[in-house]
């Protein structure tokens, strides 16, 4: 990757992190408090995140790299969790919950 692309990548990363920090700082801690940003501003922020991600993907493609990164959330564990389907079937049969009706059509 050329130096120009490297600089652009660092700028995009800094913009994404700064924008995320601003959103985090402005997000009310309780659900009673009204969110301080207008709906139009929130839509603009989402558009900025989308543009940043698009350009980062373009830079990866230009560099000939394939991104395998996926978003991670704070409460995500690092290792995949597996479970037996039989346990789910058994738990469902033992519960007294009625099956949901699924419309056909």
pLDDT in tens, 64-104: 887 776 667 777 777 777 777 777 776 666 666 555 555 55
How many domains are there within the chain? 1
Q: Answer yes or no: is 63 within a domain.
A: yes
| Position 41 pLDDT exceeds 80 | yes
Q: Answer yes or no: is 44 within a domain.
A: yes
Range of the domain at 28: 3-70
The fraction of the chain above a pLDDT of 70, given in percent, is 76
Q: Answer yes or no: is 50 within a domain.
A: yes
| DSSP per-residue codes, 32-96 | TSPPSS-HHHHHHHHHHHHHHHHHHHHHHHHTT---------TT--SS-----HHHHHHHHHHS-
Backbone φ and ψ for 29, nearest 5 degrees, come out as: -75, -30
Q: Which residue bears the tokens 């919950």?
A: 97
| Position 48 pLDDT exceeds 60 | yes
Q: Answer yes or no: is 25 within a domain.
A: yes
Q: Answer yes or no: is 103 within a domain.
A: no
């Amino acid at each position: 990757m050329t130096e120009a692309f490297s600089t652009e990548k660092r700028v995009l990363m800094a913009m994404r992190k700064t924008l995320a920090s601003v959103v985090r700082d402005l997000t009310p801690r309780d659900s009673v408090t009204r969110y301080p940003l207008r709906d139009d501003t929130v839509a603009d922020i989402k558009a900025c995140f989308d543009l940043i991600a698009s350009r980062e993907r373009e830079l990866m493609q230009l560099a000939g790299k394939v991104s395998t990164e996926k978003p991670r959330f704070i409460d995500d564990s690092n290792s995949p969790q597996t479970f037996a389907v039989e346990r789910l079937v058994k738990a469902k049969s033992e519960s007294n919950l009625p099956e949901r009706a699924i419309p056909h059509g």
